[in-house]
Amino acid sequence: MKKFKKLFAVMLSLAMVLGMSLTAFATETSAPTGTKPVSADKATATVENVEAGATVTAYRIVEPTYNDKGFTGYKLADGVTLADMLAPKSDEITGIAADKTLLATLTKETLSASEGATGLTKYSAQLGAGYWVVIVEGSDIQEVYNPMLVGIYYSVEGSGDNNTLVNGTVDANTNWSLESTPAYAKSEQPTIDKKITGSTGKDESDGNESGNDVAIGDTVNFEIDTKIPSYSKSYTEVMVKITDKMGKGLTLADPANLVVKVNGVDVTAGADTYTYKEADDKKSFEISFASAYALAHSGEAVVVTYDAVLGEDAGLNFDANDNTAKLEYTNDPSGKTNEIEDKTYTYTFALDAAINGKDSWITKELLKTGEERELESGEKTTALPGAEFTLTNNATNKVYTAISAEDGTISFKGLDAGEYTLVETKAPDGYSLNDAKIPVVITATYKEDGKLESYKVTVGGTTADDNGVKETIYTMQNDGSVKSNVVNKPQESDTYEIKNTKLASLPSTGGIGTTIFTIGGCLIMVVAAALFFASRRKASK
């Protein structure tokens, strides 16, 4: 029995020793790095809502400390100054992000997006313990990103959570893991909104804010809405510039009417606010904010209002007179820039004119006709040239004049949409005047982006005319061509014919009728003279 007890004791002691060895082996493999390279302990750090194509870099500003038994706490990276390394302040983070010399000395890692990512996406990398400042850069990105703080921490009861570092120790007897909470990029994508706020003879309900129609000579009121990007203190020098370029037809009106408001307050040009430049041809201008002013007014709304006039060189019908506003801005602390733009489209209409600029087909809404005549070529036509007309806008009373051409067309240019009255004011020689008051109506439909989708010309409809109503709808096709609703002839108009009749025939000057009258008159005078002298002789006898 004593031998058995001794044997049991030996076996129990052996089991205890073996058990201690297994525990030590297990805890050594699960302990923090200790004397091994710090990079051995890593966790996945992610930053979400970043544009694909950006460069995302993390710089470690707070590092872990270890001894041969495990993790012991944190320390500041060389060159980094923080009031409380476990609770960095936003001003401290932006200051570090702006210090290119310091960043060059820090441990850094590049975060990567998944292959083929587009739009806003997630960037990730394996990072060691500590605090990391994350900076988003890129020449092709549009948004302005503020520096971010990502924490990789040892997760032990009471040691830290939610990306926050907490000092403490993790040794061989501690159940630990390395954790990170995803960070979400705080960014702002600047916008610019160019719009038409009004035009001569119209109100804001006409057309939409991106597209409108006016008459040649009318004033168009424009507004540019944007904002100075929200810059953090990591930006020390920025560029914020607004440019506006007018296409053919539009010319800047009185520059004194141009107003710049920042945060609702009128701002005048000056060295400490913004500079204003205007092209000699008054087709463009530039507003460039001073860097210090832009930084001081970071995130504030900017509104620019001004007027332009539509001139005789305007594009007609579907040939748009566009206007482009552009915002150029710094979107990276290193000085990289981006630009965005927005457009408006101003249209003016014409009858019997090119449908869509040079070399496009000619509409023919109106045709003046008379009796058949023979041309020099030998061809015969009823087209009647030389008739004079007025076209009056019923709302504005603006009057346009035209004379029928050799082919009978009557061309009016530079019209806005609305109701008109067409009247013949002078007939060609030998023809009676057609005194009918003919209604002409132009209506337009615009796409959401302001481009002209279609317009309709309606001619006729009074009891005085006998041509009925002619209606042509012109529609822009997806391939850029324009077609009408005329059956089997999509490149023609439903033409309204204005007929004239000849006056009653009169003897022409030098003709036989005149000769007969002349001879008759002379005979009467001779007979009268003969009778007069005969009566005188008789009386004298």
Domains and CATH numbers, the chain: 38-188 (no CATH), 193-344 (2.60.40.740), 350-499 (2.60.40)
Is pLDDT above 50 for 21?
no
Between CA 199 and CA 74 the distance in angstroms is 66
Place of tokens 């504005």: 396
SS3 240: strand
CA-to-CA distance for 285 and 259, rounded, in angstroms? 13
Contacts of residue 517, defined as CB under 8 A and 6 or more positions apart, other chains included, come to 507
Per-residue pLDDT band for 341 (boundaries 50, 70, 90) equals very high
Which of the four pLDDT bands, split at 50, 70 and 90, describes residue 530?
low
Q: Are 484 and 472 in contact (CB under 8 A)?
A: yes
Confidence of residue 8 (pLDDT cuts 50, 70, 90): very low
Q: State the average pLDDT over residues 504-510.
A: 48
- Asked whether the beta carbons of 136 and 55 are under 8 A apart, the reply is yes
Reported confidence tier of residue 23, pLDDT bands at 50, 70, 90: very low
Per-residue pLDDT at 362:
97
3 state SS of 532: helix
Which of 385, 417, 416, 421 shows the shortest CA–CA distance to 403? 385
More confident residue, 377 or 310: 310
Lowest-confidence region among 209-218, 300-309, 500-509: 500-509
Measuring CA to CA, how many Å separate 459 from each of 392, 422, 439, 454, 495? 14, 9, 6, 17, 9
Percent of the chain, pLDDT > 90? 56
Query: How do beta strands 349-351 and 412-415 pair?
Result: antiparallel
| Rounded-to-integer distance, Cα 411 and Cα 506, Å | 33
Distance from chain centroid for Cα 142: 15
What average pLDDT does the segment 453-467 reach?
80
% pLDDT > 70, the chain:
79
pLDDT at 431 over 90: yes
Q: Of 283, 214, 275, whose CA–CA distance to 252 is shortest? A: 283
The contacts of residue 106 (CB under 8 Å, 6+ apart) are 59, 60, 61, 77, 79, 80
Q: Which of 117, 116, 111, 108 is nearest to 136 (CA)?
A: 111
Contacts of 491 (CB under 8 A, 6+ apart): 361, 483, 484
Cβ 26 vs Cβ 33: under 8 Å: no
pLDDT at 521: 64
Tell me the pairing of strands 42-51 and 183-184. Answer: parallel
| Other Cβ atoms closer than 10 A to 19 | 10
Give the model's pLDDT for residue 269.
Answer: 96
Say how far apart CA 329 and CA 228 lie, in whole Å.
Answer: 8
Q: Which amino acid is at 335?
A: G
The torsion defined by the Cα of 297, 301, 306 and 311, in degrees rounded to 10, comes to 120
Lookup: tokens for 356:
């869509």
The answer, as to whether pTM is greater than 0.75, is no
Q: For the purposes of burial, counting CB atoms within 10 Å of the CB of 325, is it exposed (0-12), middle (13-18) or buried (19 or more)?
A: buried
| Cα 46 from chain centroid (whole Å) | 34
pLDDT higher at 176 or 59: 59
Which candidate, 225, 204, 227, 239, places its Cα nearest to that of 304? 225
Better pLDDT: 325 or 186 = 325
- pLDDT tens digits for 42-84? 888 888 888 888 899 999 999 988 877 778 889 999 999 999 9
